[in-house]
A and B are shown apart, each in its own frame.
Chain A
Amino acid sequence: MRELSLHILDIVGNSVRAGATLITINITTVDNLLTIEIIDNGHGMSKELLDTVCDPFTTSRTTRKVGMGIPLFKMACQCAGGQFTIDSTRNVGTTVKATFLVNHIDRAPLGDLVSTMITLISEDIDYLLDYQVDDRRTIFDTRQVKQELGDIPIDSPEILIYIKDLLTENIITVNGGRNI
């Protein structure tokens, strides 16, 4: 995958499948280190599954025999001089953390994070996006948006377009001209 934001979309897909109701996405860039952390409150994994999950033949899917999401993200991270960890506790949740050296020649760009968020936002799951670059920061919390919206669904196209503009502007501001 050409963009780290595509990996984020994919890894969060695992959290959704694990029945998570709150998914936190922390993206922090300080100097030359980019850290992406995805924390969910889904059903978690057993110790046995966790031990094999970075291996491409691990999947609980029934539609095919290989799971590729985690191995691909791990590879993107390690190719860019970073470190990959995954922690999980049954019935508590899972945390995936990947770091990247920002100026590493093999680091994929973060890419279109806004499109990833627009694709993810739904009525039944809440997202907390905490996006930081050096000392600048923006936080987007769907729980706050839903509170304002009352009975209007957050995933109505009109609302998604509004969120898209908001996130685009705020992320550009936080980037402060840095290429992430």
Chain B
Amino acid sequence: MKTIAEIKAIRDKMQAEIIDRDKSHNKDIRIIVGMATCGIAAGARPVFNTLVDEVAKRKLVNVKVSRTGCLGMCKLEPIVEVYTPNDGKVTYIRVTPEKILEIIDKHIVGGNVCTQYLVENE
């Protein structure tokens, strides 16, 4: 069995990085996944986990990922809200793990909103 002892090494490494990152960035991008019954049943959990994996893999240190309850449009779940300094709040609907990878690539990293997944283009 693994113990949490190894976490100290990761902490020390991250602490060193954080000192650098604070100079250049804040957590200025937020990605929020709706996680009430409707979202969970529609597949929000794999979307959330794909997001965590990809943000870690790409070392997107300015991105904060979190979850919330019902976003009020149960039929359009999984719903993901993205807040960026440039585009403000953007709401993506019927998100899948594949779509979230595309959203990270084009919107979060590339700065271009993935308009095909917006509610208005339903």
Residues of A within 8 A of B (CB): 1, 6, 9-10, 13, 16-17, 61, 63-64, 67-69, 72, 112, 115-116, 118-119, 122, 138, 144-145, 148-150, 152, 155-162, 165-166, 169-170, 173
Which residues of B lie under 8 Å from residue A1 when comparing CB positions?
40-41
Q: Give the nearest-CB partner of A9 in chain B.
A: B40
Which of B6, B35, B38, B70 makes the CB contact (< 8 A) with A119? B35
Which residues of A lie under 8 Å from residue B41 when comparing CB positions?
1, 6
CB-based contact A119/B49 at 8 Å: yes
A-B contact pairs, 20 of them (CB 8 A): A1-B40, A9-B35, A13-B35, A13-B37, A13-B69, A63-B71, A67-B37, A68-B37, A116-B45, A119-B45, A138-B1, A145-B7, A148-B11, A150-B11, A152-B15, A152-B18, A157-B53, A158-B10, A161-B56, A170-B1
CB-based contact A160/B69 at 8 Å: no
Q: Give the nearest-CB partner of A69 in chain B.
A: B37
Q: Which 3 A-B pairs have the closest CB atoms?
A: A157-B56, A63-B72, A166-B2
CB-based contact B52/A161 at 8 Å: yes
CB-based contact A118/B52 at 8 Å: yes
CB-based contact A162/B6 at 8 Å: yes
- Nearest CB of chain B from residue A7's CB, rounded to whole Å: 8
Complex CA distance for A157 and B72, rounded to whole angstroms:
27
- Nearest CB of chain A from residue B93's CB, rounded to whole Å: 15
Identify which of A122, A144, A157 gathers the most chain B CB atoms within 10 Å of its CB.
A157
Number of interface residues of B (CB under 8 A): 33
Identify which of B11, B36, B37 gathers the most chain A CB atoms within 10 Å of its CB.
B37
> Known contacts A64-B70, A119-B35, A160-B56; is A170 also within 8 Å of B2 by CB?
yes
Additional A-B contact list (19), CB under 8 Å, known A115-B45, A122-B66, A138-B1: A6-B40, A6-B41, A13-B36, A13-B69, A17-B69, A61-B69, A61-B70, A63-B71, A64-B70, A67-B37, A68-B38, A115-B49, A119-B48, A144-B4, A157-B55, A160-B52, A161-B56, A169-B2, A170-B1
Q: Give the nearest-CB partner of A71 in chain B.
A: B37
Which residues of B lie under 8 Å from residue A118 when comparing CB positions?
48-49, 52
Which residues of B lie under 8 Å from residue A165 when comparing CB positions?
2
- Nearest CB of chain A from residue B31's CB, rounded to whole Å: 11
Complex CA distance for A155 and B74, rounded to whole angstroms:
26
